[in-house]
Amino acid sequence: VEPGFVHVDGVLHCDAIPAPVIAEAAGTPTYVYSAGLIRQQYRRLDAAFARVPHRIHYSVKANSNLAVLRLLQAEGAGVDIVSGGELYRAHEAGFTGGDVVFSGVGKRARELHEALAAGVLFVNVESEGELLLLDQVARERGVIAPVALRVNPEVAVDNPHEYIRTGEKGHKFGIPFDDVPRVARETRDLPNLKLVGLDMHIGSQISSWEPYDAALARLVALLVRVRADGAQDIRYLDVGGGLAVTYDEEAPADVSRFAAGVIEATRGLDVTLVLEPGRFLVAESGILLTEVLFRKRSGGKEYVITDAGMNDLLRPSHYEAFHRIDAVKPTGERVVADVVGPVCESGDFLALDRDTDDAPPGALLAVRTTGAYGFSMASNYNSRPRPAEVLVDGDRFAIVTERERYEDLVRQERASLDWRVA
Ligand code: LLP
Protein backbone atom coordinates (compact mmCIF):
# COMPACT_ATOMS: atom_id res chain seq x y z
CA VAL A 1 0.00 0.00 0.00
CA GLU A 2 0.93 3.64 -0.54
CA PRO A 3 1.83 5.25 2.76
CA GLY A 4 -0.71 7.76 4.02
CA PHE A 5 -4.17 8.36 5.42
CA VAL A 6 -7.10 7.25 3.28
CA HIS A 7 -10.59 5.92 3.82
CA VAL A 8 -10.96 2.32 2.68
CA ASP A 9 -14.47 0.89 2.81
CA GLY A 10 -15.58 3.85 4.93
CA VAL A 11 -12.82 3.52 7.52
CA LEU A 12 -9.75 5.75 7.82
CA HIS A 13 -6.53 3.81 7.49
CA CYS A 14 -2.95 4.79 8.21
CA ASP A 15 -1.03 2.89 5.55
CA ALA A 16 -2.63 -0.59 5.80
CA ILE A 17 -3.82 -0.27 9.39
CA PRO A 18 -7.43 0.71 10.18
CA ALA A 19 -7.45 3.60 12.67
CA PRO A 20 -9.90 1.79 15.01
CA VAL A 21 -7.37 -1.03 15.41
CA ILE A 22 -4.83 1.51 16.66
CA ALA A 23 -7.37 3.16 18.97
CA GLU A 24 -8.18 -0.27 20.38
CA ALA A 25 -4.52 -1.08 21.01
CA ALA A 26 -3.30 2.29 22.27
CA GLY A 27 -6.44 4.08 23.48
CA THR A 28 -7.17 7.74 22.71
CA PRO A 29 -5.97 10.40 22.35
CA THR A 30 -3.05 8.98 20.39
CA TYR A 31 -0.71 10.42 17.80
CA VAL A 32 -0.25 8.15 14.79
CA TYR A 33 2.62 8.57 12.32
CA SER A 34 3.22 6.99 8.94
CA ALA A 35 6.89 6.00 8.63
CA GLY A 36 6.52 5.79 4.86
CA LEU A 37 5.35 9.40 4.58
CA ILE A 38 8.31 10.64 6.62
CA ARG A 39 10.74 8.72 4.42
CA GLN A 40 9.01 10.04 1.30
CA GLN A 41 9.41 13.66 2.41
CA TYR A 42 13.03 13.16 3.40
CA ARG A 43 13.85 11.58 0.05
CA ARG A 44 12.05 14.32 -1.91
CA LEU A 45 14.06 17.01 -0.21
CA ASP A 46 17.32 15.10 -0.42
CA ALA A 47 16.80 14.42 -4.12
CA ALA A 48 16.04 18.08 -4.84
CA PHE A 49 19.50 19.03 -3.52
CA ALA A 50 21.33 16.01 -4.94
CA ARG A 51 23.51 18.02 -7.32
CA VAL A 52 25.16 20.13 -4.59
CA PRO A 53 26.93 19.26 -1.33
CA HIS A 54 24.21 19.41 1.32
CA ARG A 55 23.19 18.02 4.68
CA ILE A 56 19.66 17.75 6.04
CA HIS A 57 19.59 18.41 9.78
CA TYR A 58 16.10 17.57 10.99
CA SER A 59 14.80 20.10 13.51
CA VAL A 60 14.16 17.80 16.46
CA LYS A 61 11.69 20.12 18.17
CA ALA A 62 9.05 19.35 15.54
CA ASN A 63 8.72 15.75 16.68
CA SER A 64 11.35 14.41 19.02
CA ASN A 65 10.07 10.87 19.39
CA LEU A 66 12.98 8.43 19.47
CA ALA A 67 11.48 6.13 16.86
CA VAL A 68 10.95 9.06 14.49
CA LEU A 69 14.52 10.22 15.11
CA ARG A 70 15.88 6.76 14.47
CA LEU A 71 13.91 6.49 11.25
CA LEU A 72 15.40 9.75 9.99
CA GLN A 73 18.84 8.69 11.16
CA ALA A 74 18.51 5.56 9.04
CA GLU A 75 17.67 7.79 6.05
CA GLY A 76 20.95 9.65 6.52
CA ALA A 77 19.68 12.78 8.24
CA GLY A 78 21.52 14.82 10.84
CA VAL A 79 19.74 16.86 13.50
CA ASP A 80 19.27 20.47 14.51
CA ILE A 81 18.90 20.64 18.29
CA VAL A 82 18.07 23.48 20.66
CA SER A 83 18.76 22.01 24.10
CA GLY A 84 20.77 19.51 26.07
CA GLY A 85 17.61 17.43 26.26
CA GLU A 86 17.39 17.24 22.48
CA LEU A 87 21.08 16.31 22.33
CA TYR A 88 20.35 13.49 24.76
CA ARG A 89 17.49 12.28 22.57
CA ALA A 90 19.65 12.47 19.45
CA HIS A 91 22.29 10.29 21.10
CA GLU A 92 19.65 7.82 22.26
CA ALA A 93 18.41 7.58 18.69
CA GLY A 94 21.88 6.81 17.34
CA PHE A 95 23.10 10.17 16.06
CA THR A 96 26.73 11.02 16.77
CA GLY A 97 28.15 14.47 17.56
CA GLY A 98 29.11 15.17 13.96
CA ASP A 99 25.45 14.74 12.96
CA VAL A 100 24.41 17.61 15.20
CA VAL A 101 24.09 21.36 14.80
CA PHE A 102 23.12 23.26 17.94
CA SER A 103 20.77 26.26 17.60
CA GLY A 104 18.89 28.39 20.09
CA VAL A 105 18.95 31.86 21.57
CA GLY A 106 19.58 30.90 25.20
CA LYS A 107 22.12 28.11 25.55
CA ARG A 108 23.52 27.46 29.01
CA ALA A 109 27.16 26.70 29.86
CA ARG A 110 26.24 23.16 30.77
CA GLU A 111 24.61 22.62 27.38
CA LEU A 112 27.63 24.06 25.56
CA HIS A 113 29.86 21.69 27.53
CA GLU A 114 27.67 18.78 26.48
CA ALA A 115 27.72 19.90 22.86
CA LEU A 116 31.51 20.21 22.74
CA ALA A 117 31.94 16.90 24.55
CA ALA A 118 29.76 15.35 21.86
CA GLY A 119 31.81 16.97 19.09
CA VAL A 120 28.94 18.73 17.33
CA LEU A 121 29.43 19.83 13.73
CA PHE A 122 28.93 23.46 14.79
CA VAL A 123 27.14 25.70 17.24
CA ASN A 124 24.83 28.33 15.77
CA VAL A 125 25.76 31.30 17.93
CA GLU A 126 23.09 33.96 18.37
CA SER A 127 24.75 36.69 20.46
CA GLU A 128 28.12 38.09 21.53
CA GLY A 129 27.44 36.92 25.06
CA GLU A 130 27.06 33.38 23.82
CA LEU A 131 30.23 33.74 21.74
CA LEU A 132 32.26 34.66 24.81
CA LEU A 133 30.72 31.88 26.86
CA LEU A 134 31.43 29.32 24.14
CA ASP A 135 35.05 30.47 23.92
CA GLN A 136 35.41 30.01 27.67
CA VAL A 137 33.77 26.57 27.64
CA ALA A 138 36.00 25.50 24.73
CA ARG A 139 39.08 26.69 26.63
CA GLU A 140 38.02 24.71 29.72
CA ARG A 141 37.65 21.63 27.57
CA GLY A 142 40.86 22.22 25.62
CA VAL A 143 39.10 22.18 22.25
CA ILE A 144 38.43 24.59 19.42
CA ALA A 145 34.66 25.12 19.08
CA PRO A 146 33.23 25.25 15.53
CA VAL A 147 30.96 28.27 15.23
CA ALA A 148 28.34 29.35 12.74
CA LEU A 149 26.89 32.80 13.31
CA ARG A 150 23.12 32.95 13.14
CA VAL A 151 22.31 36.05 11.18
CA ASN A 152 19.08 37.95 11.54
CA PRO A 153 18.60 38.93 7.89
CA GLU A 154 15.94 41.47 8.93
CA VAL A 155 13.38 40.88 6.22
CA ALA A 156 9.59 41.08 6.47
CA VAL A 157 8.39 37.49 6.77
CA ASP A 158 5.19 36.45 5.08
CA ASN A 159 3.51 33.61 6.97
CA PRO A 160 0.26 33.00 8.85
CA HIS A 161 1.22 34.02 12.39
CA GLU A 162 3.49 36.48 14.16
CA TYR A 163 4.61 33.81 16.64
CA ILE A 164 6.29 31.81 13.90
CA ARG A 165 8.39 34.65 12.42
CA THR A 166 12.02 34.83 13.51
CA GLY A 167 13.91 36.91 10.94
CA GLU A 168 12.50 40.42 11.21
CA LYS A 169 14.36 43.45 12.55
CA GLY A 170 14.21 43.53 16.33
CA HIS A 171 13.40 39.84 16.81
CA LYS A 172 15.21 38.07 19.64
CA PHE A 173 16.79 35.60 17.20
CA GLY A 174 20.18 35.86 15.55
CA ILE A 175 22.78 38.58 15.36
CA PRO A 176 21.51 41.89 13.94
CA PHE A 177 22.50 42.04 10.29
CA ASP A 178 24.78 45.07 10.54
CA ASP A 179 26.69 43.63 13.51
CA VAL A 180 27.70 40.41 11.78
CA PRO A 181 31.00 41.53 10.17
CA ARG A 182 32.23 42.82 13.52
CA VAL A 183 31.08 39.68 15.39
CA ALA A 184 32.74 37.54 12.72
CA ARG A 185 36.06 39.31 13.37
CA GLU A 186 35.55 38.88 17.09
CA THR A 187 34.94 35.16 16.54
CA ARG A 188 38.21 34.84 14.66
CA ASP A 189 40.05 36.75 17.35
CA LEU A 190 38.84 34.48 20.12
CA PRO A 191 41.47 31.76 20.54
CA ASN A 192 39.17 28.80 21.18
CA LEU A 193 36.70 29.38 18.37
CA LYS A 194 36.74 28.70 14.65
CA LEU A 195 34.25 30.40 12.34
CA VAL A 196 32.99 27.66 10.02
CA GLY A 197 29.62 28.92 8.89
CA LEU A 198 26.81 31.41 8.63
CA ASP A 199 23.22 30.52 9.42
CA MET A 200 19.70 31.87 9.17
CA HIS A 201 16.18 30.74 9.95
CA ILE A 202 13.50 33.33 9.20
CA GLY A 203 10.45 31.45 10.41
CA SER A 204 8.02 28.68 9.68
CA GLN A 205 5.31 27.92 7.17
CA ILE A 206 6.93 30.33 4.73
CA SER A 207 4.21 30.88 2.18
CA SER A 208 5.87 33.03 -0.45
CA TRP A 209 9.39 33.06 -1.80
CA GLU A 210 10.21 36.78 -1.84
CA PRO A 211 11.14 37.07 1.85
CA TYR A 212 13.11 33.85 1.75
CA ASP A 213 14.97 34.80 -1.42
CA ALA A 214 15.69 38.27 -0.02
CA ALA A 215 16.97 36.83 3.24
CA LEU A 216 19.17 34.32 1.45
CA ALA A 217 20.60 37.01 -0.81
CA ARG A 218 21.52 39.02 2.29
CA LEU A 219 23.10 35.95 3.91
CA VAL A 220 25.16 35.27 0.80
CA ALA A 221 26.27 38.91 0.63
CA LEU A 222 27.48 38.64 4.21
CA LEU A 223 29.35 35.45 3.46
CA VAL A 224 31.23 37.17 0.65
CA ARG A 225 31.95 40.19 2.83
CA VAL A 226 33.13 38.17 5.82
CA ARG A 227 35.38 36.04 3.64
CA ALA A 228 36.85 39.16 2.09
CA ASP A 229 37.58 40.28 5.64
CA GLY A 230 39.74 37.18 5.98
CA ALA A 231 37.43 34.46 7.30
CA GLN A 232 38.82 31.52 5.35
CA ASP A 233 37.40 28.58 7.29
CA ILE A 234 33.74 29.08 6.37
CA ARG A 235 32.51 25.86 4.85
CA TYR A 236 28.83 25.72 5.82
CA LEU A 237 25.89 27.84 4.85
CA ASP A 238 22.92 26.93 7.02
CA VAL A 239 19.81 28.14 5.22
CA GLY A 240 17.35 27.19 7.96
CA GLY A 241 14.02 25.42 7.91
CA GLY A 242 10.53 26.75 7.46
CA LEU A 243 9.34 24.90 4.36
CA ALA A 244 5.55 25.02 4.38
CA VAL A 245 3.12 22.12 4.43
CA THR A 246 -0.58 21.98 3.58
CA TYR A 247 -2.94 22.29 6.53
CA ASP A 248 -6.03 23.42 4.66
CA GLU A 249 -5.99 24.37 1.01
CA GLU A 250 -2.71 26.30 0.95
CA ALA A 251 -0.33 25.45 -1.84
CA PRO A 252 2.34 23.11 -0.47
CA ALA A 253 5.96 24.23 -0.59
CA ASP A 254 7.38 23.67 -4.02
CA VAL A 255 10.49 21.70 -3.11
CA SER A 256 12.07 21.94 -6.55
CA ARG A 257 11.53 25.69 -6.61
CA PHE A 258 13.03 25.96 -3.15
CA ALA A 259 16.06 23.87 -4.07
CA ALA A 260 16.57 25.62 -7.41
CA GLY A 261 16.46 29.01 -5.68
CA VAL A 262 18.93 28.05 -2.99
CA ILE A 263 21.29 26.34 -5.42
CA GLU A 264 21.23 29.32 -7.76
CA ALA A 265 21.78 31.85 -4.97
CA THR A 266 24.75 29.92 -3.59
CA ARG A 267 26.37 28.91 -6.86
CA GLY A 268 30.15 29.03 -6.83
CA LEU A 269 30.41 29.75 -3.10
CA ASP A 270 32.15 26.47 -2.31
CA VAL A 271 30.05 25.68 0.74
CA THR A 272 28.10 22.70 2.01
CA LEU A 273 24.47 23.69 2.40
CA VAL A 274 22.82 22.82 5.68
CA LEU A 275 19.02 22.59 5.83
CA GLU A 276 17.03 22.55 9.09
CA PRO A 277 13.54 21.41 8.16
CA GLY A 278 11.18 20.27 10.89
CA ARG A 279 7.55 20.47 9.88
CA PHE A 280 8.17 19.59 6.23
CA LEU A 281 9.51 16.16 7.15
CA VAL A 282 6.91 15.12 9.71
CA ALA A 283 3.76 17.28 9.80
CA GLU A 284 1.73 15.49 7.16
CA SER A 285 2.83 12.09 8.41
CA GLY A 286 0.82 12.46 11.61
CA ILE A 287 -2.74 12.48 12.90
CA LEU A 288 -4.14 12.84 16.38
CA LEU A 289 -6.75 10.16 16.99
CA THR A 290 -9.40 11.29 19.44
CA GLU A 291 -12.79 10.03 20.59
CA VAL A 292 -15.95 12.09 20.77
CA LEU A 293 -17.03 12.13 24.41
CA PHE A 294 -20.22 14.17 24.21
CA ARG A 295 -22.30 16.36 21.95
CA LYS A 296 -24.10 19.41 23.24
CA ARG A 297 -25.85 22.59 22.23
CA SER A 298 -25.41 25.87 24.02
CA GLY A 299 -26.68 29.30 23.01
CA GLY A 300 -27.52 28.06 19.54
CA LYS A 301 -24.01 26.67 19.10
CA GLU A 302 -23.23 23.04 18.44
CA TYR A 303 -20.34 21.41 20.32
CA VAL A 304 -18.36 18.26 19.67
CA ILE A 305 -16.46 17.48 22.87
CA THR A 306 -13.40 15.29 22.33
CA ASP A 307 -10.98 13.51 24.65
CA ALA A 308 -8.07 15.48 23.12
CA GLY A 309 -7.55 19.03 24.30
CA MET A 310 -5.13 21.92 24.07
CA ASN A 311 -2.69 20.12 26.33
CA ASP A 312 -2.43 17.40 23.66
CA LEU A 313 -2.46 19.72 20.63
CA LEU A 314 -1.69 23.36 21.37
CA ARG A 315 -1.55 24.71 17.82
CA PRO A 316 -5.21 25.69 17.32
CA SER A 317 -5.40 27.64 20.53
CA HIS A 318 -1.87 29.08 20.48
CA TYR A 319 -1.59 30.10 16.81
CA GLU A 320 -5.24 29.93 15.74
CA ALA A 321 -3.89 27.19 13.50
CA PHE A 322 -6.21 25.27 11.21
CA HIS A 323 -6.15 21.48 11.33
CA ARG A 324 -8.48 19.41 9.21
CA ILE A 325 -10.62 17.00 11.18
CA ASP A 326 -11.80 13.81 9.50
CA ALA A 327 -14.21 11.28 10.92
CA VAL A 328 -12.62 7.85 11.05
CA LYS A 329 -16.01 6.40 9.97
CA PRO A 330 -17.90 9.29 8.37
CA THR A 331 -21.62 9.27 9.08
CA GLY A 332 -22.44 11.14 5.89
CA GLU A 333 -24.22 13.84 7.93
CA ARG A 334 -22.61 17.24 8.41
CA VAL A 335 -22.86 19.82 11.16
CA VAL A 336 -21.26 23.18 11.89
CA ALA A 337 -19.71 22.90 15.32
CA ASP A 338 -16.94 23.93 17.63
CA VAL A 339 -14.75 20.91 18.26
CA VAL A 340 -13.49 21.40 21.81
CA GLY A 341 -11.40 19.56 24.37
CA PRO A 342 -12.01 18.78 28.04
CA VAL A 343 -9.55 21.36 29.40
CA CYS A 344 -11.02 24.06 31.63
CA GLU A 345 -10.21 26.98 29.34
CA SER A 346 -12.43 28.72 26.83
CA GLY A 347 -9.41 28.74 24.53
CA ASP A 348 -9.33 24.95 24.49
CA PHE A 349 -10.48 24.04 21.00
CA LEU A 350 -9.39 21.97 18.04
CA ALA A 351 -11.63 23.81 15.57
CA LEU A 352 -14.15 26.66 15.63
CA ASP A 353 -17.31 26.94 13.53
CA ARG A 354 -16.19 23.96 11.51
CA ASP A 355 -18.32 22.22 8.94
CA THR A 356 -17.60 18.73 10.14
CA ASP A 357 -18.93 15.20 10.35
CA ASP A 358 -21.97 14.89 12.63
CA ALA A 359 -19.99 12.49 14.81
CA PRO A 360 -21.85 10.94 17.76
CA PRO A 361 -20.33 10.15 21.16
CA GLY A 362 -17.97 7.20 20.83
CA ALA A 363 -16.96 8.08 17.27
CA LEU A 364 -13.30 8.48 16.41
CA LEU A 365 -11.91 11.63 14.78
CA ALA A 366 -8.54 12.21 13.15
CA VAL A 367 -7.02 15.65 13.57
CA ARG A 368 -4.83 15.90 10.49
CA THR A 369 -1.33 17.21 9.84
CA THR A 370 -0.30 16.95 13.47
CA GLY A 371 3.00 15.10 13.06
CA ALA A 372 4.91 18.35 13.75
CA TYR A 373 4.57 20.41 16.93
CA GLY A 374 1.83 18.13 18.21
CA PHE A 375 3.15 15.75 20.83
CA SER A 376 6.33 17.81 21.19
CA MET A 377 4.28 20.75 22.52
CA ALA A 378 1.97 18.64 24.69
CA SER A 379 1.76 19.38 28.39
CA ASN A 380 0.18 17.93 31.49
CA TYR A 381 -2.15 20.87 32.09
CA ASN A 382 -5.23 19.85 34.06
CA SER A 383 -3.12 16.86 35.19
CA ARG A 384 -3.86 15.11 31.96
CA PRO A 385 -1.38 12.34 31.11
CA ARG A 386 0.19 13.02 27.72
CA PRO A 387 -1.05 10.89 24.82
CA ALA A 388 0.46 7.74 23.37
CA GLU A 389 2.34 7.74 20.05
CA VAL A 390 2.15 5.01 17.43
CA LEU A 391 4.35 4.47 14.39
CA VAL A 392 2.84 2.67 11.42
CA ASP A 393 5.02 1.15 8.73
CA GLY A 394 2.98 -0.43 5.97
CA ASP A 395 1.11 -3.35 7.45
CA ARG A 396 2.48 -3.15 10.99
CA PHE A 397 2.40 -0.70 13.84
CA ALA A 398 4.16 -0.17 17.15
CA ILE A 399 3.40 1.90 20.23
CA VAL A 400 6.47 4.14 20.36
CA THR A 401 5.39 6.15 23.40
CA GLU A 402 3.28 4.66 26.15
CA ARG A 403 0.49 6.86 27.39
CA GLU A 404 1.60 8.55 30.61
CA ARG A 405 0.12 7.23 33.84
CA TYR A 406 -1.08 9.14 36.86
CA GLU A 407 2.09 8.13 38.75
CA ASP A 408 4.14 9.85 36.03
CA LEU A 409 2.34 13.11 36.79
CA VAL A 410 3.70 13.31 40.34
CA ARG A 411 6.99 11.44 39.95
CA GLN A 412 9.18 14.52 40.53
CA GLU A 413 7.04 15.97 43.30
CA ARG A 414 7.37 15.68 47.07
CA ALA A 415 4.44 15.91 49.45
CA SER A 416 6.52 15.32 52.57
CA LEU A 417 8.98 18.16 52.60
CA ASP A 418 12.70 18.11 53.05
CA TRP A 419 13.04 21.69 54.40
CA ARG A 420 16.35 23.46 54.17
CA VAL A 421 17.44 26.65 55.89
CA ALA A 422 19.73 29.34 54.53
N1 LLP B 1 15.56 25.91 12.63
C2 LLP B 1 15.36 26.72 13.69
C3 LLP B 1 16.48 27.49 14.24
C4 LLP B 1 14.08 26.81 14.26
O5 LLP B 1 13.88 27.62 15.30
C6 LLP B 1 13.02 26.06 13.71
C7 LLP B 1 11.68 26.14 14.28
C8 LLP B 1 13.28 25.23 12.63
C9 LLP B 1 14.56 25.18 12.11
C10 LLP B 1 12.24 24.35 11.99
O11 LLP B 1 11.18 25.08 11.46
P12 LLP B 1 10.09 24.31 10.56
O13 LLP B 1 10.80 23.78 9.37
O14 LLP B 1 9.52 23.23 11.38
O15 LLP B 1 9.09 25.35 10.23
N16 LLP B 1 5.62 25.53 17.23
C17 LLP B 1 5.39 26.26 16.00
C18 LLP B 1 6.61 26.38 15.17
C19 LLP B 1 7.75 27.00 15.91
C20 LLP B 1 9.01 26.65 15.22
C21 LLP B 1 10.19 27.09 15.98
N22 LLP B 1 11.41 26.92 15.28
C23 LLP B 1 4.22 25.64 15.26
O24 LLP B 1 3.57 24.77 15.79
O25 LLP B 1 3.90 26.08 14.15
- DSSP per-residue letters across 161-193: -GGGB--STT-SSSEEGGGHHHHHHHHHHSTTE
Asked about 14 being catalytic, the answer comes back as: no
pLDDT the model gives residue 250? 85
If pLDDT is split at 50, 70 and 90, which confidence band does 157 have? Answer: confident
pLDDT, position 165? 85
pLDDT for residue 25 = 98
The answer to whether 325 touches 356, Cβ cutoff 8 Å, is: yes
* pLDDT value of position 345: 96
pTM assigned to the model:
0.97
The ipTM estimated for the assembled molecules is 0.99
Say yes or no to pLDDT of 207 above 80: no
pLDDT-derived band at 181 (thresholds 50, 70, 90) equals: very high
Our separate counts of H helices and E strands in the chain read 12, 21
Mutate to test the pocket of ligand 1, among 279, 285, 370, 379 (most ligand atoms within 8 A of CB): 279
The CA R_g of the chain, rounded to the nearest whole Å, is: 23
Given this model, what pLDDT does residue 209 score?
A: 86
Task: Look at residue 36 and give its three-state secondary structure.
Answer: helix
How far is 385 from 267, CA to CA, in rounded Å? 50
Exactly one of 50, 228, 344, 417 is catalytic; name it. 344
C-alpha torsion angle, residues 350, 355, 357, 363 (rounded to 10)? 20
Inter-axis angle of helices 255-265 and 209-228, nearest 10: 20
Interstrand relation of 334-340 and 100-102 (parallel, antiparallel or unpaired) = unpaired
Q: What is the mean pLDDT of residues 206-230?
A: 94
Average pLDDT over residues 282-301: 98
Which residues have a Cβ under 8 Å from the Cβ of 207 and sit 6 or more positions away?
158, 159, 160, 244, 250, 251
Checking if the pLDDT of 237 tops 80, the result is yes
Nearest ligand 1 atom to alpha carbon 150: 3
Mean pLDDT of 160-179: 89
Asked if 92 and 66 count as a contact pair (C-beta separation under 8 A), the reply is: yes
- The response to whether 319 counts as a known ligand-binding position is yes
Q: Are 312 and 341 in contact (CB under 8 A)?
A: yes
∠ CA(279), CA(280), CA(282), 5° rounding? 65
Query: What's the pLDDT score for residue 160?
Result: 78
What's the rounded mean pLDDT across residues 269-282? Answer: 98
Was 24 annotated as part of a binding site?
Answer: no
Judging by beta carbons within 10 Å of its beta carbon (0-12, 13-18, 19+), is residue 256 exposed, middle or buried? exposed
Residue 167: per-residue pLDDT = 86
Rounded CA-CA distance 196/317 in Å is 40
User: Residue 242: CB within 6 Å of ligand 1?
Assistant: yes
Binding site membership of 276 for ligand 1 (Cβ less than 6 Å): yes
Question: What would the pLDDT profile of 36-82 be if each residue is shown by its tens digit?
Answer: 999 999 999 999 999 999 999 999 999 999 999 999 999 999 999 99
Domains and CATH numbers, the chain: 5-33+283-405 (2.40.37.10), 104-275 (3.20.20.10)
